[in-house]
């Protein structure tokens, strides 16, 4: 019991001397031992690394999960050490809606079939996005978080201990200055040697930890490379999925403008025009099974052929001819006309028609 009381009294005295030393330093009444320039630079670099790591982590989390409510929910599940419930991402939700709508319109219709194909592609992109998020969380965010919650906390702990040892050293220097009696001076000198040794030892420990930040930078560079590779793979997969979808849609209607919808009257009498969506030549080209050789022969012979209309088509201008599905019209090639168009005739009506809407008849 006596030992514990003495120990408690000694600890209280040490804390008091530290507090006095700290207060006098703030008031400019006591000298302060400065850290060497190299150690100060290492401390600044560690703090800079911590701040930028936090900033990069925050923005990466926003990129991977834009919904703040979902991020909070995932954070709570992580702290409770529970599995985060699986939910569909935005691409998968859009894909599901497209597939359901296409099924309702009918897979046998052009629009319904196109919706189903688009929905399947959106689901594929959603799956690629899920893999990208998982890979980024494991190979990029986790190492960054481990640094902040592990290595940097250790650095902070040793840095705080170094500050305590510095206060003890400066307090010992102050006591030595105030000592007048030889015996008191001898005790003060011994305390100074001991506190100086402890301070030097703690400074060396802190320095070694801070120099390890260079290894952290090298590790984070490898993690950054993994993140870029995962992002490249995700975008490459998404691009390929869309290219494949574009090829599949080449056999579907490619112009979405309607004379009936080009203008509508609002309460103020204003009109709203529906723009034509330009598509690439690969989407406008007829599919191999759609009689490509027949169209080529028609252009070469400069004659006329009967053709069945596959889909409804609303003319986008006075030079085009509106079409109704399943009707039969006469078509011919005109010199100088774009290869994706033919001249259609229905009685006395004439106009350009897109070949992707037609099937030549024998």
CA quadruple 321, 324, 325, 326: dihedral, nearest 10? -90
pLDDT given for residue 19 in this prediction: 73
pLDDT tens-digit map of 67-109: 788 778 777 777 777 777 778 889 999 999 999 999 999 888 8
pLDDT band, very low/low/confident/very high, at 224 (cuts 50, 70, 90): very high
Closest CA to 110 of 330, 328, 287: 287
pLDDT given for residue 7 in this prediction: 62
Residue pair 344/323 in contact (Cβ under 8 Å)? The answer is: yes
Which pTM does this prediction carry? 0.60
Assigned architecture for domain 294-360:
Roll (2.30)
The neighbour count for residue 125, using CB atoms within 10 Å, is: 22
pLDDT tens-digit map of 281-295: 343 344 443 444 577
In sequence order, which residues have a C-beta less than 8 Å from that of residue 337 and are 6 or more positions away? 343, 352
pLDDT given for residue 252 in this prediction: 55
pLDDT given for residue 315 in this prediction: 87
Residue 218 has pLDDT above 80, yes or no: yes
Tokens describing residue 273: 């025009």
Tokens describing residue 346: 């229905």
pLDDT band, very low/low/confident/very high, at 110 (cuts 50, 70, 90): confident
Rg for the chain, CA atoms, rounded = 39
| Topology agreement, domain 20-251 and domain 294-360 | no
Mean confidence (pLDDT) of the chain: 81
Closest CA to 359 of 311, 303, 302, 299: 311
pLDDT given for residue 211 in this prediction: 94
**Higher confidence at residue 241 or residue 247?**
241
Query: What's the number of CA atoms in the CB half-sphere (13 Å) around residue 238?
Result: 16
pLDDT band, very low/low/confident/very high, at 3 (cuts 50, 70, 90): low
Residue 325 has pLDDT above 90, yes or no: no
pLDDT given for residue 258 in this prediction: 39
pLDDT given for residue 21 in this prediction: 65
Q: Where are the domains of the chain?
A: 20-251, 294-360
> CATH fold of 20-251, please?
Substrate Binding Domain Of Dnak; Chain:A; Domain 2 (1.20.1270)
pLDDT given for residue 276 in this prediction: 39
């Amino acid at each position: 019991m006596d030992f514990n009381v003495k120990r408690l009294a000694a600890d209280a005295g040490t804390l008091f001397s530290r507090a006095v030393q700290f207060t006098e330093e703030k008031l400019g009444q006591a000298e302060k031992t400065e850290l060497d320039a190299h150690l100060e630079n290492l401390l600044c670099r560690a703090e800079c690394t911590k701040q930028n790591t936090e900033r990069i982590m925050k923005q990466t989390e926003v990129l991977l999960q834009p919904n703040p409510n979902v991020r909070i929910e995932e954070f709570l599940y992580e702290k409770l050490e529970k599995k985060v419930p699986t939910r569909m991402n935005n691409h998968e939700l859009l894909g599901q809606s497209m597939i359901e709508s296409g099924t309702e319109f009918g897979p046998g219709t052009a629009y319904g079939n196109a919706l189903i194909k688009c929905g399947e592609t959106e689901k594929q992109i959603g799956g690629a996005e899920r893999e990208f998020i998982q890979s980024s969380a494991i190979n990029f965010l986790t190492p960054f978080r481990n640094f902040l919650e592990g290595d940097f906390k250790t650095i902070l702990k040793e840095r705080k201990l170094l500050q305590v040892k510095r206060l003890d050293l400066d307090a010992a220097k102050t006591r030595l200055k105030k000592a007048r009696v030889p015996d008191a001076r001898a005790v003060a000198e011994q305390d100074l040697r001991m506190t100086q040794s402890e301070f030097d030892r703690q400074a060396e420990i802190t320095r070694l930890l801070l120099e390890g930040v260079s290894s952290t930078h090298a590790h984070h560079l490898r993690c950054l490379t993994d993140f870029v590779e995962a992002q490249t793979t995700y975008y490459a997969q998404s691009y390929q999925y869309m290219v494949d979808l574009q090829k599949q849609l080449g056999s579907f209607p490619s112009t979405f403008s309607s004379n009936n919808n080009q203008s509508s009257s609002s309460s103020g009498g204003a009109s709203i025009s529906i723009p034509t969506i330009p598509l690439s030549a690969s989407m406008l080209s007829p599919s191999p099974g759609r009689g490509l050789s027949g169209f080529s022969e028609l252009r070469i012979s400069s004659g006329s052929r009967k053709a069945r209309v596959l889909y409804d088509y609303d003319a986008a201008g006075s030079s085009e001819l509106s079409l109704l599905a399943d009707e039969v019209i006469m078509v011919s090639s005109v010199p100088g006309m774009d290869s994706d168009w033919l001249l259609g005739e229905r009685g006395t009506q004439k106009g350009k028609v897109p070949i992707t809407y037609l099937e030549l008849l024998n």
